[in-house]
Amino acid sequence: MNKELNYYSVKEVEEAVKLLADNKLKLLAGGTDFMVDYRNEEDFLTGYDGILDLSNIDGIDEITESDNHIEIGAMVTHKDLVKSDLINKYYPALAQSAAAIGSTQIRNRATIGGNICNAAACADTLGPLIAFEARAILESVNGKRTMDVSEFVKWPYETEINDNEILISFTLPKPEEGTFSGFQKIGRRQALAITRISLAVKAVIESGIIKDINLVPGSATPVPTTFSEVEAEIKGKKLSEIDSKEIGEKAAEEMVGITGERWSTPYKKPALATLFRRAIKNLQEEVANNG
Amino acid sequence: MTDLKQVNKSKKRVDAKAKVTGKAKFGADLKFANMLYGKVVRTKYPYAKIKNVDISKAKKYPGVEAVMTAKDIPNNTFGVIIQNQRVLAEDEAIYIGDGIVMLAAESKEAAEEAAKLVEIEYEELKGIHDPLESRKPDAQLVMEGTDSNQVVHHPLRKGDVESGFAEADLILEREYSTQYIEHAYLEPEAVTVVPNERQTLVSVYGSVQNPYATRDAVARVLETDLSQVRIIQDNMGGSFGGKDENISSMAARAAVMALATDRPVQMVNSREESIIESYKRHPYNLKYKIGAKEDGRLTAMEIEAVADSGAYACQTPFVTWRSVVQATGPYEVPNVKTDTYGFYTHNPYTGAMRGYGSPPTCFAQESLMDELAAELGMKPDELREKNMYRQNSHTASGQKLDNHTVSLQEVLDKAKKSINFDEKYEKYSKEQSGEKKRGIGLAISYRGVSLGAEAIDTTGGIVAVQKDGSIILYCGLAENGQGLRTVFSQVVGEELGVNLDRITYMEADTSVAPESGSTVASRSTFMGGNALKKAARNVKDTMIEFAKEEYGVEGNIIFKDNALYTEKGKKVEDFAKVASDAFHSGVFLSSYGWYKAPKISWDEETGQGRPYFTYVYGCQIAEVEVDTGTGQVKVLNMAAAHDVGKAINPANVRGQIYGGVVMAVGQALMEDLGFSDGFINHTNFDEYLIPTVKDIPDIDAIIVENPDPAGPYGAKSIGEPTVELGGAAINNAIAVATGDRHYDLPLNLEKVLIGRDLSREG
Amino acid sequence: MVNVKFTVNNREVEVKVDPTERLLDTLRDKLNLTGVKEGCAVGECGACTVLFDGEAMNSCLIPTVQAEGKEVLTIEGLGTNDTLDPLQQSFIDYQAVQCGFCTPGMILSAKALLNKNSSPTREDIKEAIDGNLCRCTGYEQIIQAVQNAADGEVEA
């Protein structure tokens, strides 16, 4: 433990980025990853001048609605996502993925910003964020930067964030009429479970036709990515005519196309096929029920 | 029997209040003046020569008071059965948890930082990691001073299996395997050793499951008298058999450092240290060959069970002994050939874990019985009923079951009724639509109560009535969290007619209570209950004699409601007053009660005899839903019927059933150490998974009572029977749901979906 | 070292801590509140659960510096010397305590639930304690105890 470490707690984003401009600081959000990594990694704080606590910054822990967008502050907790009327209304898949994380205690504390910046391969909210075409907003002394979340997370534990930046929020476009979404997760137990494989889906259905669809599996590829081959296959087609089994198999092939044969592939192929199959079927049922 | 007031009642646990208020102290909560914090540096490799150990930098770290190696330990070996467990490894490390250096410092941080400065030079060696390999005659030897890797071999021979198989219309041969199980007690190991305290050389406080076994180990290591080592047990955050040798090791280490520094030394494991160092349930490889007639009658069973003993012998000889006794399951089989073995490997050592040698064999044999039933075109319960023990049946050891009620039919019927087995079995055996398929499966077992032929089976207790009528109880058996404080208080309370709030059960203290054997084998209620009942009886007799003389009472005296009454119901005096009067008249109101278990016998060559003096019977039936698209298994319902003789505390018994069933669900579906080539990869609860509240089935805990003539109030046993059945019941249910039979635990996502395990090694 | 002022069990406290000191250690070692237990140190078992501004959280994952101005409740803050909190009494009455190590954290998670939802369903209760591992009880009697404390009606 480095006793020389400085600790900064600020109330404004402006203060935070000023500090980051001049110091190499480790960012502290909810602490649920920070404290584990600090304990397990010898060099976690090596080379850092101090710790910058983001938990007291005004204005980045709220979910706000504007005409075309919903903005989710980086310090919004998973519990907030689960309970939010706005999230449940517009982005059910995101609420479902947040509900599937960890445990009540973890959800009460872990933030969406912290979770995405940590960028674990199995981060459950990443898939839905990509499926909803969320954008990440970063800020530094040089101003704001915005990019697609799919670009922001490059590789497991690697993001585009610069040393002098903090992530302040995500913006998600409000879904258009006819949007359906869902999230499925497979874990080895029903709580406190690392995701073995998951699938986030967001689809826009117009007159029974798939106008647009994003299918983003989690823990299937190094970082969650939209499965464009399968999507291209079914875009523009009549939802009720899609053979869900076929789509499942195609998705499994697309995954192997990205990852190659890995030790876990014999399980992930059929399991992913199941999730895709069910996503399509659920969509078909939901759309049929909604008339 | 007269109306019971304390016994057979769901009395609230006497230790509950302290626990719900946070006042109950556990090992790591203790603080002693001048206390040091101990830490152990363990090997980097499962098998390696220790070429050099440099502790010079660690010694210099500020706050460090002691840094020691095996050289500093008076006697470096101990063990409950075979004394070959090293306190610290010296020339070579033989399993991944072997400790090499220990140190004590002023603060936890100092201890941790200093530990990082210990430099150890290794020569990594190729170890042997499979007991099926280490059993081979030319295999490299794991344990020095031996000429083979065999720890033990238990044979059992009954009849003639060759002719038995010749008689059979159908023979099945199957191979099963069960995995390492980590006890996963919520409280990691914690002890504090105080040197030169009061009249002893060392006092040991903390999470000690078997105070006398730990005392033996510490006294041996320190080369001192037993009377000079005092173990006082604190509240234990769970044990399940897991805080025996590893705690003895921890206590011995702390004791050596405490004496060297003349300061108390506290050692608390992190979860990773606990999982890496502590012993596990033995993984078993089991080969079963079973022969049956067309009508389902079993003619022969040939069984070979190989247990991985890991680096040390620990309790392998006893664990595998229970296996040899019970491997056939509760069935009349005229011809039996069973061989159980334990072999050394460079793997984590293995020892006592709830159920001991029976969960692995029960998994195999109950899974096999279902498969056999299917082959014969019989229902699973029909095949069981055709062969299971009834009154006066003979076991594989030739023991006639005649001194207690053999209640397999009863537990089977009650469990079936509770979960609606017949209807569900029929429904689920038919074709099911959709990807989520349901199944139902049963398992039955019998289990010998207490130690059997493992060791001398005796227990002692003291009932000490104080002059104000309050009562102090002592017993050498230790509260592990299972509730024996309360149960023992109930037994004494019943005998003496005193309410529990006037009874204090002292924590086990080896300098006070008589050595009573270990708190294992689900023996406490039976053995401790009997011992304390005797002690209470003695005191009661004394009080009766006194009362008759003092108060001129004639006829029988009844003890109830904190008072003494005549037969006719007239109150003689308050219990407290009688105690006071007796004390002031010079009457001694304490008594020992010593209970020796009924006679058993065992022939080591043939496995014939009376291995246990009585048995309990259980049946568990699992209803599952298998997601055939993902491999997930949900256990929806579990009916668990257990004959306990008499439930001293029904709510406690139910608690043991719920806990055992959920533990079995974990073992069956998700518990996995991520073990490979001597390394444990799943070292914390994020990867070693035990059931959360969302993973539990709805459990119907069915208490069956057929009082045992030898048990206190007829009570027998519950702790372990509850954990041995779930694996097979779930496996059998999965088979009904999917048509797939499985042979290797755990039945994780991969096994259920694609039929095999996957590992990074391919 | 950082000065941190916060409230524990309704008492104001002030401590000096390193930025990375865990709330768990501050509570146990500096404030002698040993009812908070360490089971795994990585937020996977819930034995260290405290209420943090009314929400159940793992104190092994909270740096004490983040407790500034907050209200922390540990098991020692429930009930008084004379009267137990209804939850505590219910745990006793429903035999929901075996070894007792998970108990403080378990009760606090349940307390957080009952503070918000006075008539939880069985599923609500499971959700509230899904981060509290128990190896002894199989959870069933714990669920019953919480149900009973809520509305006196136990779905057995």
pLDDT at B761: 53
Confidence check: pLDDT of B618 > 80: yes
Q: Token match 């997370």: residue?
A: A153
Q: Is B758 in Cβ contact with A189 (below 8 Å)?
A: no
pLDDT value of residue B454: 87
Min Cα–Cα distance to chain A from C8, Å: 18
Say which of C40, C74, C98 has its CB closest to residue B655: C98
Token couple for A74: 């980086």
Q: What is the structure's pLDDT at A2?
A: 52
Closest CA to B486 of B497, B468, B500: B500
Q: Which helix (H) or strand (E) holds B253?
A: helix B245-261
Check residue C156 and give its pLDDT.
46
- Cα gap B166→B755, rounded to integer Å: 33
The dihedral through the CA atoms of B410, B415, B417, B421 has a sign that is negative
- Nearest residue on chain A to B109, alpha-carbon basis: A1
For B187-312, strand residue ranges (E) read 190-195, 202-206, 229-233, 265-268, 284-292, 298-310
Q: In sequence order, what are the beta bridge partners of B460?
A: B594
Torsion of CA B234, B239, B242, B246, to 10 degrees: -20
pLDDT exceeds cutoff 70 at B231: yes
pLDDT of B334: 98
Cβ of C44 within 8 Å of Cβ of A28? The answer is no
Q: How high is the pLDDT of residue C29?
A: 97
What was the pLDDT predicted at A3?
Answer: 57
pLDDT value for B262 = 98
Distance of CA C37 to the CA centre of its chain: 10
DSSP readout, C81-143?
Answer: SS---HHHHHHHHTT--SS-SSHHHHHHHHHHHHHH-SS--HHHHHHHTTT---SSS-SHHHH
Cross-chain residue pair A103–C46, CB shorter than 8 Å: yes
Q: Taking a C-beta distance cutoff of 8 angstroms, is the pair B706, B407 a contact?
A: yes
A106/chain C closest Cα distance in angstroms: 7
- Express each pLDDT in A226-260 by its tens digit: 999 999 999 999 999 999 999 999 999 999 999 99
Chains with ≥3 Cβ pairs under 8 A against B? Answer: A, C
Q: How confident is the model at residue B144 (pLDDT cuts 50, 70, 90)?
A: confident
First-last CA distance in chain C: 51
Q: Which of B531, B533, B536 is nearest to B460 (CA)?
A: B531
Q: What pLDDT does B572 receive?
A: 96
Cβ separation B629–A264 shorter than 8 A: no
Q: What is the pLDDT of residues A11-63, one digit of tens each?
A: 999 999 999 999 999 999 999 999 999 999 999 999 999 999 999 999 999 99
- The number of C-beta contacts closer than 8 angstroms across A and C is 88
Averaged pLDDT score across all residues of chain B: 96
> For chain A, which chains pass the contact test of at least 3 CB pairs under 8 Å?
B, C
- Whether omega before C120 lies within 30 degrees of 0, making that bond cis, reads no
Whether residues A274 and B689 touch (CB distance < 8 A) is answered with no
- pLDDT exceeds cutoff 70 at B507: yes
Kindly report the length of chain C: 156
Residue B180 in contact with residue B675, Cβ under 8 Å?
A: yes
Angstrom distance (rounded) from CA B762 to CA B529: 52
**Which tens digit of pLDDT belongs to each residue from B645-676?**
999 999 999 999 999 999 999 999 999 999 99
Dist CA B337 CA B289 (whole Å): 10
What one-character-per-residue DSSP string does B624-662 give? EEEETTT--EEEEEEEEEEE-SS-SSHHHHHHHHHHHHH
Q: What is the mean pLDDT of residues B622-629?
A: 98
Backbone angles phi, psi at B100, to 5 degrees: -120, -40
What is the C-alpha separation between C9 and C31, in angstroms, rounded?
A: 11
For an interface test with A, which of B630, B682, B754 has the most A Cβ atoms less than 10 Å from its Cβ?
B630
pLDDT bucket at C80, cuts 50 / 70 / 90: confident
What is the three-class DSSP state of B727? helix
Question: Do residues C46 and C36 touch, judged by C-beta distance below 8 A?
Answer: no
User: What is the spatial distance between Cα B376 and Cα B396, in angstroms, rounded to a whole number?
Assistant: 23
Closest CA to A247 of A291, A223, A280, A271: A280
H or E segment and range at residue B448: strand B436-448
- Is the CB of residue A244 less than 8 Å from the CB of residue A284? yes
- Nearest residue of chain A to residue B669 (CA atoms): A188
Helix (H), strand (E) at residue B663: helix B650-669
Which residues in B lie closer than 8 A to residue A188 (C-beta atoms)? 670, 689, 748-749
Find the residue in B nearest to C90 (Cα). Answer: B20
> Do the strands A166-173 and A135-140 form a parallel or antiparallel pair, or are they unpaired?
antiparallel
pLDDT in the model for residue A1: 47
pTM, whole model, 2 decimals?
A: 0.97
DSSP-H helix ranges across B688-725 = 721-724
- Beta-carbon separation of A267 and B758 below 8 A: yes
| A contacts of C22 (beta carbons < 8 Å) | 35
Summarised one tens digit per residue, pLDDT across range B512-521 is: 999 999 999 9
What string of DSSP letters covers chain A?
--TT-EEEE-SSHHHHHHHHHHS-EEEESSSTTHHHHHHH-TTTTTT--EEEE-TT-TTSS-EEE-SSEEEEETT-BHHHHHH-HHHHHH-HHHHHHHHTSS-HHHHHH-BHHHHHHHT-TT-TTHHHHHHTT-EEEEEETTEEEEEEHHHHEEETTEES--TT-EEEEEEEEPPPTTEEEEEEEEESSSSS--EEEEEEEEEEEETTEEEEEEEEEESSSSS----HHHHHHHTTSBGGG--HHHHHHHHHHHHHHHH-S-TTHHHHHHHHHHHHHHHHHHHHHHHHHT-
Of the candidates B15, B10, B211, which has an alpha carbon nearest to the alpha carbon of residue B656?
B10
Strands of C71-73's sheet in order across: C11-17, C2-8, C71-73, C49-52, C55-58
- The stretch B146-175 carries a mean pLDDT of 97
How much is the average pLDDT of C120-137? 98
Q: Are B425 and B736 in contact (CB under 8 A)?
A: yes
Residues in C closer than 8 angstroms to B482, CB to CB, are: 98-99, 136
Are β-strands A25-28 and A50-53 bridged in parallel, bridged antiparallel, or unpaired? parallel
Contact between chains at B689 and A264 (C-beta distance less than 8 A)? no
Q: How large is the average pLDDT for residues B17-25? A: 96
Could you report the per-residue pLDDT of A105-138, keeping only the tens digit for each?
A: 999 999 999 999 999 988 999 999 999 999 999 9
Q: Is the pLDDT of residue C153 over 70?
A: no
What tens digit of pLDDT does each residue of B74-88 get?
999 999 899 999 999
Contacts of A4 by beta carbon, 8 Å cutoff, 6+ apart: none
A77 alpha carbon, distance to own chain's centre: 13
Residue A4 predicted with pLDDT over 90: no
Is pLDDT of B510 > 60?
A: yes
For chain B, the residues whose C-beta falls within 8 A of a C-beta of chain A are: 109, 435, 629-632, 670, 685-687, 689, 691-695, 748-750, 753-754, 756, 758-762
Element holding B534 (H helix, E strand): helix B529-551
Rounded CA gap, B245 and B258, in Å? 19
Is pLDDT above 50 for B199?
yes
Pairing state of beta strands B190-195 and B265-268?
A: antiparallel
**Residue C61 DSSP class:** G
| Residues whose CB falls within 8 Å of the CB of residue B314, separated by 6 or more in sequence, listed in order | B79, B80, B81, B85, B245, B279, B349, B350, B351, B352
Q: B435-489 pLDDT, tens per residue?
A: 999 999 999 999 999 999 888 999 999 999 999 999 999 999 999 999 999 999 9
Question: pLDDT by residue (tens digit) across B694-738?
Answer: 999 999 999 999 999 999 999 999 999 999 999 999 999 999 999
Q: Dihedral of the CA atoms B575, B579, B580, B583 (nearest 10)?
A: 170
* pLDDT number for residue C152: 64
As a dihedral over the C-alpha atoms of residue B493, residue B494, residue B495, residue B501, rounded to 10 degrees, the angle is: 10
For residues B375-391, average pLDDT: 98
Contact B655 C38 (CB under 8 A): no
What is the per-residue pLDDT for C81? 79
Q: Average pLDDT for residues B156-160, to the nearest whole number?
A: 98
Q: How confident is the model at residue C151, as a pLDDT?
A: 81
- pLDDT tens digits, residue range B294-330? 999 999 999 999 999 999 999 999 999 999 999 999 9
Cα torsion B63, C47, B239, B689: sign: negative
Contact residues, chain A, for C66 at CB < 8 Å: 28, 31, 53, 55
| Strand B503-505 with B471-475, pairing | parallel
Residue A203: phi, psi to the nearest 5? -135, 145
Residue to test with chain C: of B15, B17, B20, most C Cβ within 10 A: B20
Q: A26 and A52 in contact (C-beta within 8 Å)?
A: yes
B354 C-beta neighbours (distance < 10 Å), count:
26
Q: Is C53 on the interface with A (CB under 8 A)?
A: no
Three-state SS across B367-386?
Answer: HHHHHHHHHHCCCHHHHHHH
Q: Which DSSP category does B312 fall into?
A: S
Nearest to C22 among A35, A56, A190 (CB): A35
In angstroms, what CA-CA distances link A271 with B113, B629, B751?
Answer: 45, 6, 12
Q: Do A270 and B753 touch (CB under 8 A)?
A: yes
CB contact under 8 A, C18 and A1: yes
Count Cβ atoms below 10 Å from residue B569 Cβ, excluding itself.
8
- DSSP conformation class of B152: E
Q: Is the pLDDT of residue C155 over 60?
A: no
pLDDT tens-digit map of B33-70: 999 999 999 999 999 999 999 999 999 999 999 999 99
Q: Name the residue in chain A with its Cα closest to that of B666.
A: A189
pLDDT at B762 over 60: no
Could you tell me the two tokens for B121? 């030079």
Q: Which residues of B touch A244 (CB under 8 A)?
A: none
- Burial class from Cβ neighbours inside 10 Å (0-12, 13-18, 19+) for residue B321 reads buried
pLDDT band with cut points at 50, 70 and 90 for residue C154: low
Residue from B132, B160, B146 nearest B283 by CA: B132
Name, in order, each residue with C-beta under 8 angstroms of B630's C-beta and a sequence gap of 6 or more. Answer: A186, A271, A274, A275, B749, B753
